[in-house]
């Protein structure tokens, strides 16, 4: 959402200037909105950023991208909140329960999901800045076999 925001801001400014220049022509051809086809998009809340590991790795990955830069997806492990800034869908396979840490290596923390595996790459703990997993693991007690809370 952060990169999309910047692209749309630039595009919006250009479009606004074009639209204002031809406002009279645009107003002539207006039609009232059909209120039967209207839907309301509620404001995003922090509660929506909690990761449900029973979802597919692809769906969790999409939420991580959508909720960056706010509210940032998060999960808990050992009672510690971990915010996930970047991840990717992995090609690992596992029969472990959803939320189980399958492996930790230089590419990230591999977590089993309801369908597929997610590799977490950039994380943030409370009171610190986002960092690559390899830096995070230097001061973390998280290990293979641990589970993220659902």
CA diameter of the chain: 66
The reported pLDDT for the residue numbered 79 is 92
pLDDT confidence of residue 28: 84
- The secondary structure element, H or E, covering residue 103 is strand 101-105
% pLDDT > 70, the chain: 100
Contact by Cβ (8 Å): 120, 109: yes
Distance CA 72, CA 49 (A): 6
Phi, psi of 32 (to 5 degrees): -65, 150
Q: At 111, which helix (H) or strand (E)?
A: strand 108-112
Distances, alpha carbon 125 to alpha carbons 16, 122, 141, in Å: 41, 11, 13
CA angle 72, 49, 81 (to 5 degrees): 70
pTM confidence score: 0.81
Distance CA 38, CA 59 (A): 26
pLDDT in tens, 26-59: 788 888 899 999 999 999 999 999 999 999 999 9
Mean pLDDT of 85-95: 92
Calpha distance 141→149 (Å, rounded): 16
Residue 14 — very low, low, confident or very high, per pLDDT cuts 50/70/90?
confident
């Amino acid at each position: 959402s952060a990169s999309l925001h910047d692209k749309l801001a630039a595009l919006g400014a250009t479009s606004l200037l074009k639209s204002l220049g031809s406002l009279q022509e645009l107003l002539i051809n207006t039609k009232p909105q059909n209120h039967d086809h209207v839907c309301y998009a509620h404001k995003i809340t922090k509660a929506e950023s909690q990761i449900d590991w029973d979802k597919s790795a692809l769906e969790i990955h999409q939420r991580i991208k959508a909720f960056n830069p706010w509210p940032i997806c998060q999960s808990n492990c050992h009672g510690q909140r971990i915010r996930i800034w970047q991840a990717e869908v992995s090609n690992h396979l596992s029969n472990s329960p959803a939320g189980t840490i399958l492996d930790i290596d230089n590419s990230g923390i591999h977590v089993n999901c309801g369908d597929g595996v997610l590799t977490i790459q950039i994380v943030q703990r409370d009171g610190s800045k986002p960092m690559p997993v390899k830096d995070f693991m230097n001061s973390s007690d998280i290990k293979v076999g641990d589970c993220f809370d659902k």
